[in-house]
Chains A and B, each alone.
Chain A
């Protein structure tokens, strides 16, 4: 049972345009969400996160939107740059489990390709 789903395995956009990566989750206990970026032969790098008390978090070119009622979040990258080409993982966790469930549940990732 996949609790975090990234339904698009790949996405291709032109440089300068907006990239929108989507993520859906099923576990209503999840209240903290993160996006990681991964280049080949490297470990994932933390990008941006959002708590369930917010519906938007912005950091430079990266903005994450959270729609709790739809159990959906999205990562917007604008403007997209060729260096953004990587696999993007959505991850979720429950922070209210008293230390017993501090594990990240990841989606399978979306390969973003930004074409010059």
Chain B
């Protein structure tokens, strides 16, 4: 069974631009969560989607948004990029909400 895939793996953007990251969960998994990892803050929860609905949201500004499609694939969008948005963005999927989460390799975003 294929694992969680994330595209692109690396991305370089400049301040003010927007970016869209993609996540394909493990086949059959319906819950997708997004996390931001930075050296100083560890992994911080962004949001969780289940059955195309955002079920849970972390403490991030509205510039961070996401969505989930009917095939459970998810996208995350960050608008008006700031230097501090440089981080590793991780997607995790689980069969149901509350199950163990399986992580993808992440997308390394660098904002210049």
Contact = CB atoms under 8 A, between A and B. Distances in A.
B55 A100 contact: yes
Interface in A2-35: 32, 34
Nearest to B48: A103
B98 A89 contact: no
A104 B105 contact: no
A27 B60 CA distance: 20
Contacts of A43: 4, 90, 92, 103-106
Size bracket of the A interface: 20 to 34
Contacts of B97: 99, 102
Interface string B34-63: 010000011111001010000110100000
A11 B48 CA distance: 32
A104 B45 contact: yes
Interface residues of B, number: 25
B43 A106 contact: yes
B45 A105 contact: yes
B74 to A, nearest CB: 15
6 contacts: A43-B4, A44-B43, A45-B103, A49-B100, A102-B48, A104-B43
Interface of B: 4, 31, 33, 35, 41-45, 48, 50, 55-56, 58, 90, 92, 97-98, 100-106
Given A34-B100, A108-B41, 15 more contacts: A36-B103, A42-B105, A43-B104, A43-B105, A93-B98, A95-B98, A99-B97, A99-B98, A100-B56, A102-B48, A102-B56, A102-B97, A103-B56, A106-B35, A109-B43
CB-based closest 6 A-B pairs: A43-B103, A108-B42, A102-B97, A106-B43, A102-B98, A44-B103
